Structure 1
Amino acid sequence: MARKRGRMTRTGWFVLVLSIHWILLLQCCCVASWMYLGVASLAGSVHDDTCSEVPGLVREQLEVCKDNPESLLCISEGARRGILECQSQFRFERWNCSTEKNYTVFGPLLRKGTKETAFVYAVLSAGVVHSVTQACSVGNLTDCSCDMSRYGEADVEGWKWGGCSDNVNYGLWFSETFVDAPESATQTGRNIRSLMNLHNNAVGRKTVEKLMSRQCRCHGVSGSCAVKTCWRGLPAFKDIGQYLKNCYERSVRLAGRSKRRLRRKEKARRREPITNEELVHLSRSPNYCRNNPKRGILGTTGRRCNRTANGAESCDLLCCGRGYNTQVVRHVERCRCKFHWCCYVECKTCETLVDIHTCK
């Protein structure tokens, strides 16, 4: 009898495995984020049911999605632009904006309010503004169109507003409504981390608006510029990424005790208000040198570096003083091609030896 009691029945094992499965699924959904849309495939038609299938969306985000299902593609594209731009800006850094193949996208890294977290929130918020605004101008969203509010107005410099300006105001409103929703949905508006996230989201949005440019086209006989029509256009997203990277370099560390407003940790500047052009963070960044899965850090082992550079991509900095391995790679390609009449191309084979340096 004692032996029978000590064994677990098949039903018991099934219940245990099922319970563990649901616990892991719930944990996954709890840390899931709308940022997952940036790495998810939304190929095919998007309908109302698609919104409920995206993990991590809060009630306000689900309402936005169901009221305007086609906006989900814009959000996905905006998040994708933000992630790719993050990886481009940090491609030579110790932290290279790496993502994980799960619903958390950036893994445990975003749990800490570091400078890197601040940049991620800002660039993805800007990505949604950029994508939605662009979709308005080309007619992909039913709730908006291009901005015609100043159409026909003349300027003293001899040009007038015309064409179809990018409707950045709608993009700003949409991004704020959707991207900021998780911070207010959890009713943690007076939590310093939520205030940090909201501020960095706003910096990303304001950057898009700040970098909007006036674009003009001349009209006249024989190419003369008798009339010049101008409109407002979106900046290239790489310009937004570069601007935010500069903000990242000057990010302001916050005093962690305040729950109602953001204050600088530096006592000498504590009364100086934080502007909407400054990213903010709470915690110091780790050095990202060694692999630490619990913190979402991959380390720099195996990363390619530049032996002759002096910047962040140099082997001295990127390899954290551990040294580097050198591998000689031979490239074989066709070269010195000539066209002979008629009709064939003759090429020679060229070999080049390239030194590849990777961190130990």
Structure 2
Amino acid sequence: MSTLSRDKQIWWALLLLAVTFLTQQCAAIKWLGLNNYSQLTEGRLQAEFFCNRMRQLDVLNRKQFKFCKKFAVERSDAGAVSAVIKSAHITVETCQKQFRHFRWDCSVLRHVPELAPELKSLTAEQALVHALSGLVLSTTFADECSRGLIRRCGCGRQPTWLARERPQQQFHFDGCHTNLRMGQRLARKFLGASRSGGGRGRRIGRGRRRGGRGGRRGAGRRSQRREHRRRKVQLEGHGSRSDRSRGRSKFRKFVQMVNRYNYNVGIEASRLSEAVRCKCHGSSASCAIRTCHKVLHRRNYQHLEHTYIRRYNRDPLDVLLEMYDKKLRKTVYSESGYLGYEEPCSQEDRSSNPLRAEPKCENYKVVSGMPTKNDVLLFHEHSLDYCHLRDGRFPGTQNRECLPDGSPAAQRILKSATAGPKRREIVCSVMCCGRTYRNVTEQHEGTHEECQKSSCKLLTNPYRVICTPCQLLKSYCN
């Protein structure tokens, strides 16, 4: 066998191993397969069977299986696992609803725990699903805590920000406040997305303050493990097998780091959901005094301004949509490990410095470390071709609804400065991937969401709403 063919075989073997390890690490999103199951009932035997069965079906990974056993079996707390199942339902439903006008419309989530190709690698779509699931898990855990459905998880703290923002009004806080902090904590625990350098460092610090034994003992054990690994490498030598093992370990840590970051983006975005619901008191409902309790904002909920106050004006789902549309950053990885992420060059970066002879930054620069503001999504592999049917199961854009290029709605999107490239995918020329499209006139009931504005009328005698059927002109890709 020639050296060239042998090197080619080794290269393909390394590539296969890398893809295998990447698939295993991205399999943490398989828990969304709980969407196919109903809520867990109380009972130790039922809970243990459920956790074991989900582990056998590869729906839960090792850490998630431990979470299931700890809460549902050891603590007899089925509410925590039921919250995870509920989160899977909400994540799949929300993703399909919010991205129905994008070329990638989340329909592949119906096949989980079988993963579509884009969910097996660090694509933008995989990053989006991780962030969205982190957001939904945090808010669902927080709601279930405030409702008393999860044990050892009580009400949250009093919202102090309301009095600071509106000092001229009087507020009285009562009721059970939504415990968003605990919701975020439980979400990180289930997803294995603890903050880097977080819990372990604080525990070691407490050990030192109590006498220092815990910290010194932990440091001694770590040094022993490092010495053991060093001797093992010396015994094995610097052969190809040892190099491949170290390469796989580096790549596995890189995948875990990116997934953990994207999970935390969604978990941190849940803060934008903070709101309070109030009841007015005073003469003639003047709202001189308000009794309020903290809740979480839900998208498209209609509330009176004086009874519902949001802390932030930005909706967390809109934030994730904007990240997926315009704030994606590609990670840079080489044989030496993670190098950083690409950031667009600023005007200052584009101007060269003749004194330092620095090269001129043209498009992107590599920033070391991880983003600190959690305002971007990280990916590594470019998105796949979602135009055509893939693997015989995952659909393309055939029969998908779109907006004709010449329509007023499409022109507004194409000319909008806020719409990125992915929001423009609703236009037929983009959605249909160059194929033709057909126009269809559809008859809908008056209660259809797109008919209500034009076909529903308020009658005064007696007061009632009547909706008549309407016709809608739709366009679909061939």
- If the TM-score is normalised by the length of the shorter chain, which range does it land in? 0.7 to 0.9
Counterparts of 1:301-320 in structure 2 under 5 Å? 301-307=398-404, 308=407, 309-310=409-410, 311-320=424-433
Q: What amino acid is the match of 2:258?
A: M
Q: CA deviation at 1:227?
A: 2.6
Distance 2:181 2:456 in 1: 54
The question of whether the paired residues in 2 share the 8 Å contact of 1:217 and 1:229 is answered with: yes
Moved more, 214-223 or 265-274: 265-274
Q: What amino acid is the match of 2:330?
A: R
The question of whether the paired residues in 2 share the 8 Å contact of 1:154 and 1:160 is answered with: no
Q: Corresponding residue for 1:253?
A: 330
- Residue segments in structure 2 that go unaligned for 5+ positions in a row: 1-22, 73-77, 197-247, 301-314, 345-363, 411-423, 447-454, 460-465
Deviations 1:220-257 (A, max 9, x none): 34423343333332121573322211121211111123
Counterparts of 1:88-127 in structure 2 under 5 Å? 88-99=97-108, 102-104=111-113, 106-127=115-136
Distance 1:331 1:36 in 2: 33
Q: 1:300 and 2:412 equivalent? A: no
Q: 1:75 and 2:84 equivalent? A: yes
Distance 1:285 1:220 in 2: 57
Q: If the length of structure 1 is used for normalisation, what is the TM-score?
A: 0.75
Q: CA deviation at 1:128?
A: 1.0
Q: Corresponding residue for 1:49?
A: 49
Q: Corresponding residue for 1:283?
A: 381
Counterparts of 1:136-155 in structure 2 under 5 Å? 136-148=145-157
Moved more, 116-125 or 39-48: 39-48
Moved more, 84-93 or 141-150: 141-150
The question of whether the paired residues in 2 share the 8 Å contact of 1:146 and 1:164 is answered with: yes
Counterparts of 1:1-360 in structure 2 under 5 Å? 33-42=30-39, 47-54=47-54, 55-56=57-58, 57-69=60-72, 70=78, 71-99=80-108, 102-104=111-113, 106-148=115-157, 156-157=167-168, 158-180=170-192, 191-236=253-298, 239-249=315-325, 250-257=327-334, 259=337, 262-264=340-342, 267-268=364-365, 270-271=367-368, 274=371, 275-293=373-391, 297-307=394-404, 308=407, 309-310=409-410, 311-329=424-442, 355-360=473-478
Q: Corresponding residue for 1:18?
A: none
Output the aligned Cα RMSD.
3.8
Q: What amino acid is the match of 2:320?
A: L
The question of whether the paired residues in 2 share the 8 Å contact of 1:99 and 1:105 is answered with: no
SS in 2 for 1:325: strand
Q: CA deviation at 1:264?
A: 2.8
Deviations 1:111-165 (A, max 9, x none): 12111111100101111111111111111111212214679x9765433443321
Q: Corresponding residue for 2:236?
A: none
SS in 1 for 2:278: strand
Q: Percent identity?
A: 25
Q: CA deviation at 1:287?
A: 3.8
Change (3 A) 1:172 1:223: same
Distance 2:112 2:173 in 1: 45
- Residue segments in structure 1 that go unaligned for 5+ positions in a row: 1-26, 340-346
Change (3 A) 1:262 1:41: farther
Change (3 A) 1:62 1:121: same
Distance 1:323 1:112 in 2: 31
Distance 1:110 1:235 in 2: 29
Moved more, 276-285 or 253-262: 253-262
Q: What amino acid is the match of 1:302?
A: N
Distance 1:48 1:59 in 2: 15
Deviations 1:258-302 (A, max 9, x none): 7467433665352586121221111221341122228x7521112
Distance 1:94 1:305 in 2: 10
Moved more, 186-195 or 53-62: 186-195
Q: What amino acid is the match of 1:137?
A: S
SS in 2 for 1:175: helix
SS in 1 for 2:107: coil
Deviations 1:73-102 (A, max 9, x none): 100111221121111221011111112554
Deviations 1:305-336 (A, max 9, x none): 23234143222221111111334556699x99
The question of whether the paired residues in 2 share the 8 Å contact of 1:190 and 1:259 is answered with: no
Q: If the length of structure 2 is used for normalisation, what is the TM-score?
A: 0.58
Q: CA deviation at 1:37?
A: 1.0
Moved more, 55-64 or 277-286: 55-64
Distance 1:213 1:336 in 2: 32
SS in 1 for 2:293: strand
Q: Corresponding residue for 1:22?
A: none
